[in-house]
Amino acid sequence: MSDLLYVNGGTPLSGEITVRGAKNFVSKAMVAALLGETPSTLRNVPQIRDVGVVTGLLQLHGVDVQAENGTLVLDPSNVESAHVADIDAHAGSSRIPILFCGPLLHRLGEAFIPDLGGCRIGDRPINFHLDILRQFGAVVEKREGGIHIEAPRRLQGTKIALPYPSVGATEQLLLTAVRAEGITELANAAIEPEIMDLINVLQKMGAIISVDTDRVIRIEGVDRLVGFQHTALSDRIEAASWASAALATGGDIYVRGATQPEMTAFLNTFRKVGGEFAVDDEGIRFFHPGGDLNSIVLETDVHPGFMTDWQQPLVVALTQAKGLSIVHETVYENRFGFTDALRGMGATIQVYKECLGGRPCRFGQRNFYHSAVISGPTPLAAADIVVPDLRGGFSHLIAALAAKGTSSVRGISLIDRGYEHFMEKLGALGAEFSRD
Ligand SMILES: CC(=O)N[C@H]1[C@@H](OP(=O)(O)OP(=O)(O)OC[C@H]2O[C@@H](n3ccc(=O)[nH]c3=O)[C@H](O)[C@@H]2O)O[C@H](CO)[C@@H](O)[C@@H]1O
Ligand SMILES: C=C(OP(=O)(O)O)C(=O)O
């Protein structure tokens, strides 16, 4: 099937869709299953490409993965006999392979981790991950196409402070510390809801982990872990993406499965922009109440702040708000590339190297266009677009749906990485489109 979608925009999206488990949790919980001596069951798993990638990686390592109706059963009992030390077949496919380090070191004593993929929204180095592994006593060596890691003896608990509360590095530490010898303490840890749910999973497996209010996580290593049974928390990025689509197209979308506690920062911002929402026990209805949308000043941040992955879809809605909005991206240095295409569709967006609208961040005084000023409202016109990355791609799709006329959107398979059945969902919301 072709990677090109023709979108006939200008109609408000209206109706109901369902979101399932979070991409940024499910893949990590699947890796955690490697640590158990018995099978694990994970429920509420979406059919997205990243789940397929991690399934492939686990199978290569001898894990039996059975999938049925959104439930995965992962049996790691053959990992030792499979003992695969080279998984470069999956180089560049996602960011998850780096999280195999701790579990594989505990089980096999060595591993080869291929170069990572994921969205190109900045340099995305892995220096924190490698420093963590070395502090546990692993020997890390750069080789062609990836890194080779080895644990000459059992990994040892350690005390670490992250220079920045990185999600991946915090997960790296958790997945390594739970079976290391002794106590590990991580200061300046990330505390995203997806990390808290990973901690839930690890605790079910037998781990001892405490989280303090000051971003300190403390783990007492244990000798063995067992399988878990868990239902994944909901995907708050997908939910916010559909909410932004409702706002940008003047629509009304009920997102079944969306949950309020993990979305507090988004909901506050959505309300300030002029969107309305109604929370019930099953999900959240997001709608444009009519009238003007308001411009805002917004800064992305680590949890509990406004998350960076919400930024790109919301910027499309801000092109329809009255006045000047300022968005300061403080998590990634290069996450405004997607605005080029929006400008081509008629949006007025200027990007700056300065830290605008808030406190100085790591990227100020450097050569990164990490602040944006959006002036609206501007009608959007149809265009030919090439999808740059996962969230940028979804944002382009929203822009095409808001624009009058027929747009072509090329590279839509990138969107499958994080949005389950997005074309069926668009259909259910009344979008007009056809696949080439
Ligand atoms: C699969 C997954 O869960 N992806 C999410 C995860 O990405 P990921 O875990 O890759 O993001 P991090 O939180 O690690 O990155 C945050 C910042 O730390 C920097 N950094 C990170 C690691 C490192 O070793 N050195 C370093 O400098 C990064 O370049 C970035 O500027 O959290 C991000 C922040 O919420 C989300 O946008 C991604 O959707
Ligand atoms: C940046 C993202 O994902 P990844 O870390 O998998 O590239 C994202 O989900 O928006």
Q: 417 and 333 share a domain?
A: yes
Given a cut of 80, is residue 87 above it in pLDDT?
no
Give the mean pLDDT of 339-351.
98
Q: Among the bound ligands, name the one nearest to the CA of residue 30.
A: 1
Length, in residues, of the chain: 436
**How many domains, in total, are found in the chain?**
2
Domain end point (choices 179, 207, 231):
231
Give the mean pLDDT of 257-277.
98
Give the mean pLDDT of 123-152.
93
Instruction: Please give the distance, rounded to the nearest whole angstrom, from the Cα atom of residue 124 to the centre of ligand 1.
Output: 7
Q: 413 and 389 share a domain?
A: yes
pLDDT band at 117; cut points 50, 70, 90: confident
Given a cut of 90, is residue 144 above it in pLDDT?
no
CA dist 189 to 208, 314, 401, Å?
Answer: 16, 27, 39
DSSP code at position 15: E
Q: What is the pLDDT of residue 128?
A: 97
E strand or H helix that includes residue 293: strand 293-294
pLDDT > 70: percent of the chain: 98
Q: What is the pLDDT of residue 357?
A: 83
SS3 161: strand
Give me 268's structure tokens: 């506050």
Q: What is the pLDDT of residue 81?
A: 84
Query: For the segment 189-219, what is each residue's pLDDT rounded down to a tens digit?
Result: 999 999 999 999 999 999 999 999 999 999 9
Q: 199 and 339 share a domain?
A: no
Instruction: Please give the distance, rounded to the nearest whole angstrom, from the Cα atom of residue 289 to the centre of ligand 1.
Output: 35
Given a cut of 70, is residue 333 above it in pLDDT?
yes
* Nearest-atom index, ligand 1, CA of 166: 13
Among candidates 120, 54, 124, which has minimal Cα distance to 390? 120
Give me 312's structure tokens: 């790109």
Q: Lowest mean pLDDT: which of 141-150, 281-290, 401-410?
A: 141-150
Instruction: Please give the distance, rounded to the nearest whole angstrom, from the Cα atom of residue 331 to the centre of ligand 1.
Output: 8
Ligand 2: residues with CB < 6 A are 94-95, 118-119, 121, 309, 390-391, 418
Give the mean pLDDT of 285-296.
98
What is the pTM for the complete model shown?
Answer: 0.97
Integer Rg of the chain from CA: 22
Given a cut of 70, is residue 85 above it in pLDDT?
no
Q: Does ipTM exceed 0.85? A: yes
Give me 380's structure tokens: 């959007």
d(CA 270, CA 55) in angstroms, rounded, equals 35
pLDDT > 90: percent of the chain: 89
Query: For the segment 222-247, what is each residue's pLDDT rounded down to a tens digit?
Result: 999 999 999 999 999 999 999 999 99
Query: For the segment 375-408, what is each residue's pLDDT rounded down to a tens digit?
Result: 999 999 999 999 999 999 999 999 999 999 999 9
Q: 227 and 342 share a domain?
A: no
Give the mean pLDDT of 74-91.
77
Q: Lowest mean pLDDT: which of 194-198, 213-217, 338-342, 361-365?
A: 361-365
Given a cut of 70, is residue 88 above it in pLDDT?
no
Please state, rounded to an integer, the average pLDDT across all residues of the chain: 95
Q: What is the pLDDT of residue 94?
A: 82
CATH of the domain at 294: 3.65.10.10
Q: 143 and 158 share a domain?
A: yes
Q: 12 and 50 share a domain?
A: no
Q: 302 and 203 share a domain?
A: no
Q: 182 and 329 share a domain?
A: no
Give the mean pLDDT of 100-123.
90
Q: 185 and 115 share a domain?
A: yes
Q: What is the pLDDT of residue 134?
A: 97
Q: What is the pLDDT of residue 52?
A: 94
Q: 89 and 199 share a domain?
A: yes
Residue 355 annotated to the active site: no
Q: 288 and 374 share a domain?
A: yes
Q: Among the bound ligands, name the one nearest to the CA of residue 191.
A: 1
Q: 136 and 253 share a domain?
A: no
Domain end point (choices 162, 196, 231):
231
- What range defines the domain where residue 78 resides? 23-231
Given a cut of 70, is residue 359 above it in pLDDT?
yes
Domain end point (choices 170, 200, 231):
231
